[in-house]
C-alpha cells in the first residue's frame, strides 16, 4: 500500500492533549500525505481555518488547534510568552506524529510561525505567513500598544467593534450577517484576561531584526487594506527572507481566512506543493 493510500484510510481525530498541565484542544483532518500545521490568531479558534481545510484536505493531513486560553483549550490565567505557544505547537506535532511539517500562521499565529522558523527550522519544510507583522515602525508600535492599553484597562467591547472594521470589508459584512453574528457570539465567549494576555504577545513581539535569518521557503500574504498587518510589513519580510513569495490580496483587509478562503487555499496549495509560479508584490 502506498503512503498516500494509507493516509487516505486515516480518520479525522479530535481530542485534548495536556502539556505542562495545560489542556489543548486539537483536530487532525484530511486524507493527504503532507503534514500541515495551522495556527490561528488572537481571540480566534481552530474552526477559523475550516474554509481553508476544506479546500486542502485532499492533499494534506492537517493539524489545527485552539491556542492556550482560546476556544476549548484551557483558559489559563496569567502572562503568556511567545515560547509558550511555540512549545505547544511542537508538543502537539509530536503527539500526532508529525516529524517535519509545513507550518501556516495567521496574525499572532504568524508570529508563532516566525519564532519556530528561527528556533526550530529543522522541524519545518515550508512556511506560510498570513496577515502577520514584522518590522513595525514607531508609529505602528504606538498604535498597537495603545490598543493593548485599552484592553488592559477593561475596554473590551469597543476594541472588538473597532476590530470588525479593520478585519472585514463593509460589503462582506453586509452580505454575511449570520457570519458576523457568529463572530460576535464567539468573541463574547472569550475570556477577557486570556484575550488580553495573548494580545500582549502580539503587540509586544516583533522579529523584524531577525527575520533575515529565516532560510525556509516562505509564502507571505496579506490584504491590500490590512491596517495592522499591512503590505509594508509584508514587503519588509519579503525583502529579507531570501527566495520568499509575496502576495498582496486586492481589496481585502485583515481577516483573510473568513473573507477569502478560496484565495488563501489556492495560494497555499500552489506554494506548498511546488506548483505556483512565484509571488509578486
Q: Assign 152 a pLDDT band (cuts: 50, 70, 90).
A: confident
Of the candidate ranges 80-84, 196-200, 276-280, the one whose mean pLDDT is the lowest = 276-280
Residue 75: inside a domain, yes or no?
yes
Residue 185 CA to residue 190 CA, distance in Å, equals: 9
Distances (CA, A) of 47 to 86, 162, 220, 230, 248: 20, 22, 22, 24, 24
DSSP 34: E
What percent of the chain has a predicted confidence (pLDDT) above 70?
92
For residue 277, pLDDT over 80 is answered with no
Q: How confident is the model at residue 102 (pLDDT cuts 50, 70, 90)?
A: very high
- For 155-165, write each residue's pLDDT tens digit: 665 556 667 77
Do 160 and 195 touch, CB atoms closer than 8 A? Answer: no
Contacts of 204 (CB under 8 A, 6+ apart): 145, 148
What percentage of the chain has pLDDT greater than the value 90?
84
Using the predicted structure, report yes or no on whether residue 278 has a pLDDT greater than 70: no
pLDDT at position 199, please?
96
Query: Which residues, at least 6 apart from 105, have a Cβ–Cβ distance to it below 8 Å?
Result: 38, 39, 111, 112, 113, 114, 128, 129, 130, 132
Q: How many CB atoms lie within 10 A of CB 281?
A: 10
Q: Cell 529543522 sits at which residue?
A: 122
Looking at residues 189-213, what average pLDDT do you find? 96
pLDDT at residue 4 greater than cutoff 70? no
Q: Which of 60-69, 166-175, 211-220, 234-243 is least confident?
A: 166-175
Lowest mean pLDDT among 16-25, 139-148, 180-189, 248-257: 180-189
pLDDT, average across residues 197-208: 97
Q: Does residue 279 form part of some domain?
A: no
Identify the CATH number of the domain in which residue 265 sits.
3.40.50.1820
Residue 22 DSSP one-character state: E
> Does 277 map to a domain?
no
Q: Considering just the CA atoms, what is the radius of gyration of the chain in Å?
A: 18
Bridge partners (DSSP) of residue 64 are 27, 38
Within-domain flag for 281? no
* Residue 280 located in a structural domain: no
Residue 69 lies in a domain: yes
pLDDT digits (tens, 9 = 90+) for 18-69: 999 999 999 999 999 999 999 999 999 999 999 999 999 999 999 999 999 9
- Residue 46 forms part of a structural domain: yes
- pLDDT of residue 258 exceeding 90, the answer is yes
**What pTM was computed for the model?**
0.93
Which domain does 138 fall in, by range? 3-272
Q: Tell me: the pLDDT tens digits for 230-250?
A: 999 999 999 999 999 999 999
Average pLDDT over residues 128-145: 97
Q: For residue 226, how many other CB atoms are within 10 A of its CB? A: 25
What is the reported pLDDT for 10? 65
| pLDDT grade for 154, boundaries at 50, 70 and 90 | confident
Q: Is residue 8 over pLDDT 50? A: no
134, part of any domain: yes
Number of domains in the chain: 1
User: In the predicted model, what is the mean pLDDT of residues 139-162?
Assistant: 82
Q: In the predicted model, what is the mean pLDDT of residues 205-211? A: 98
Amino acid at each position: 500500500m502506498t503512503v498516500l493510500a494509507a493516509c487516505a484510510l486515516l480518520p479525522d481525530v479530535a481530542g485534548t492533549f495536556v502539556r505542562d498541565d495545560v489542556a489543548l484542544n486539537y483536530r487532525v483532518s484530511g486524507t493527504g500525505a503532507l503534514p500541515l500545521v495551522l495556527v490561528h490568531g488572537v481571540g480566534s479558534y481552530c474552526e477559523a481555518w475550516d474554509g481553508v481545510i476544506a479546500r486542502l484536505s485532499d492533499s494534506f493531513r492537517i493539524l489545527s488547534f485552539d491556542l492556550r486560553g482560546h476556544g476549548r483549550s484551557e483558559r489559563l490565567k496569567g502572562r503568556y510568552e511567545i515560547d509558550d505557544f511555540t512549545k505547544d505547537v511542537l508538543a502537539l506535532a509530536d503527539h500526532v506524529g508529525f516529524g517535519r511539517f509545513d507550518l501556516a500562521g495567521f496574525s499572532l499565529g504568524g508570529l508563532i510561525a516566525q519564532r519556530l522558523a528561527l528556533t526550530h527550522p529543522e522541524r519545518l519544510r515550508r512556511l506560510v505567513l498570513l496577515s502577520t507583522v514584522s518590522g513595525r515602525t514607531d508609529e505602528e508600535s504606538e498604535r498597537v500598544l495603545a490598543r493593548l492599553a485599552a484592553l488592559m484597562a477593561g475596554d473590551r467591547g469597543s476594541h472588538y467593534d473597532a476590530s470588525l472594521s479593520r478585519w472585514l470589508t463593509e460589503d462582506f459584512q453586509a452580505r454575511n450577517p449570520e457570519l458576523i453574528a457568529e463572530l460576535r457570539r464567539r468573541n463574547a465567549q472569550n475570556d477577557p484576561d486570556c484575550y488580553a494576555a495573548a494580545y500582549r504577545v502580539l503587540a509586544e513581539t516583533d522579529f523584524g531584526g531577525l527575520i533575515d535569518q529565516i532560510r525556509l521557503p516562505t509564502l507571505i500574504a496579506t490584504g491590500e487594506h490590512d491596517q495592522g498587518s499591512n503590505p509594508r510589513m509584508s514587503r519588509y519580510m519579503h525583502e529579507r527572507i531570501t527566495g520568499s513569495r509575496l502576495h498582496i490580496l486586492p481589496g481585502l483587509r485583515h481577516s483573510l481566512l473568513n473573507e477569502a478562503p478560496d484565495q488563501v487555499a489556492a495560494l497555499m496549495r500552489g506554494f506548498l506543493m511546488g506548483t505556483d509560479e512565484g509571488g509578486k508584490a
